[in-house]
């Protein structure tokens, strides 16, 4: 990429996890995260949490990369989710955001890896923000029903699945993607700390992660409460069955005694 060149940075979220073991070393230009040179130009940075970020990649190279990643994806999404960013190279300039365009002093690999890290986390946050909004849409009618009628319909199993879904969101955000953690590239290149802070603030990673964690906690507590209420209702029903059986047995015994 030549000085003054403008190009696209594209992030693709292809699934819940990427298995990057055994990637051909001849194509690799960097590790942690895995970075490689694309045929025909451009650089791709790959992440275990299911993201691939492409810098100045020709459309054919992007399609070829996604095709090569397909066998390595766990729980692939029907259509990869994407996020794009315009970038421009200005040698000697300070790294900054000029409107909606990211200005880079150069395209050294550590700088690209840092941009890829932030963009991939932003895309992952967007994915789970949408997913959690759908979970809230499913929970709200149950809460309204509980308010109106004092009771609930539904089965415990379906609500337990929702709890499992929320736990997976938390695991993937905090454990696999390490959204709130410092990128590994900064340990070797502390001079990029200010640039990372700029990107982190622009994409509001910490604020969005904090809001998402609060929503996950609220949704989890709500669903657990619903499960407890349904279980209590089932337990009360079983107790009434037991009482009815006892009453029936007493009546049957009295009737037999009366006949004798």
At residue 178's C-alpha, the angle toward residues 174 and 184, to 5°, is 160
Global pTM value: 0.74
Average pLDDT, the chain: 80
- Per-residue pLDDT at 236 exceeds 70: no
Provide, rounded to the nearest whole percent, the portion of the chain with pLDDT above 90: 36
82 forms bridges with which residues in the sheet?
12
Q: What percent of the chain has pLDDT over 70?
A: 70
Exposed, middle or buried by CB within 10 Å (0-12, 13-18, 19+), for 53?
Answer: buried
Q: How far apart are CA 192 and CA 110, in angstroms?
A: 9
pLDDT at 23 over 80: yes
- Tell me what pLDDT residue 177 has: 46
Ramachandran area for residue 225 (φ above 0: left; ψ -120 to 50: alpha; else beta): alpha
**Distance between CA 149 and CA 171 in Å, rounded?**
35
Q: Provide the pLDDT for residue 143.
A: 61
What pLDDT does residue 254 have? 67
Name the residue among 157, 139, 148 with its Cα closest to residue 221. 139
For 42-98, how does the pLDDT look when each residue is reduced to its tens digit (9 = 90+)? 999 999 989 999 999 999 999 999 999 999 998 898 889 999 999 999 988 888 888
Report which of residues 157 and 175 the model is more confident about. 157
Please give the pLDDT value at position 175.
Answer: 47
Statement: residue 174 has pLDDT above 90: no
Say what the pLDDT of residue 212 is: 80
pLDDT at 176: 46
DSSP letters along 31-90, please?
TTTEEEEPTTS-EEEE-TTSEEEEES--HHHHHHHHHHHGGGEEEEEEEEEEEEEEEEE-
pLDDT given at position 78: 87
Taking the C-alpha atoms of residue 105 and residue 92, their distance in angstroms, rounded to an integer, is 6
Q: What is the DSSP string of the chain?
A: --TT-EEEEEEEEEEEEE--TT--GGGEEETTTEEEEPTTS-EEEE-TTSEEEEES--HHHHHHHHHHHGGGEEEEEEEEEEEEEEEEE-TTSPPEEETTEEEES---HHHHHHHHHHHHHHHHHHHHHHHHHHHHHHHHHHHHHHHHHS---S-HHHHHHHHHHHHHHHIIIIIIS-TTSPPTHHHH-GGGHHHHHHHHHHHTHHHHHHHHHHHHHHHHHHHHHHHHHHHHHHHHHHHHHHHHHHHHHHHHHHHHHHH-
| Inter-axis angle of helices 205-259 and 109-149, nearest 10 | 30
Burial 238-249 (b: 16+ CB within 10 A, else e): eeeeeeeeeeee
Give pLDDT, residue 213.
78
pLDDT tens per residue, range 194-221: 999 999 999 998 888 888 877 777 766 6
Question: Token digits for 127?
Answer: 């994915």
Residue 259: the pLDDT is 72
């Amino acid at each position: 990429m030549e000085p003054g060149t403008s190009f696209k940075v594209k992030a693709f979220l292809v699934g819940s996890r990427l298995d990057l073991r055994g990637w051909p070393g001849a194509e690799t230009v960097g590790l942690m995260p895995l970075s490689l040179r694309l045929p025909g130009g451009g650089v791709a940075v790959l992440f275990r949490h299911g993201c691939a970020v492409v810098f100045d990649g020709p459309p054919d190279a992007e399609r070829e990369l996604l095709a090569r990643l397909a066998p390595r994806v766990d729980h692939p999404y029907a259509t990869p989710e994407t996020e794009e960013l315009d970038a421009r190279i200005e040698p000697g300039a300070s790294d900054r955001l000029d409107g909606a365009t990211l200005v880079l002093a150069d395209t050294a690999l550590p700088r690209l890896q840092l941009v890829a890290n932030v963009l991939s986390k932003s895309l992952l946050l967007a994915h789970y923000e949408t997913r959690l909004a759908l979970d809230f849409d499913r929970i709200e009618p149950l809460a309204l029903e509980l308010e109106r009628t004092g009771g609930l319909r539904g089965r415990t199993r379906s609500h337990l699945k929702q709890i499992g879904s929320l736990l997976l969101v938390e695991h993937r955000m905090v454990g696999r993607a390490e959204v709130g953690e410092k990128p590994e590239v900064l340990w070797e290149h502390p001079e990029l700390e200010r640039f990372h802070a700029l990107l982190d603030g622009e994409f509001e990673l910490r604020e969005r992660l904090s809001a998402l964690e609060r929503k996950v906690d609220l949704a989890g507590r709500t669903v657990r409460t619903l499960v407890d209420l349904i279980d209590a209702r089932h337990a009360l029903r079983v107790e009434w069955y037991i009482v009815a059986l006892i009453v029936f047995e007493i009546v049957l015994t009295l009737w037999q005694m009366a006949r004798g």
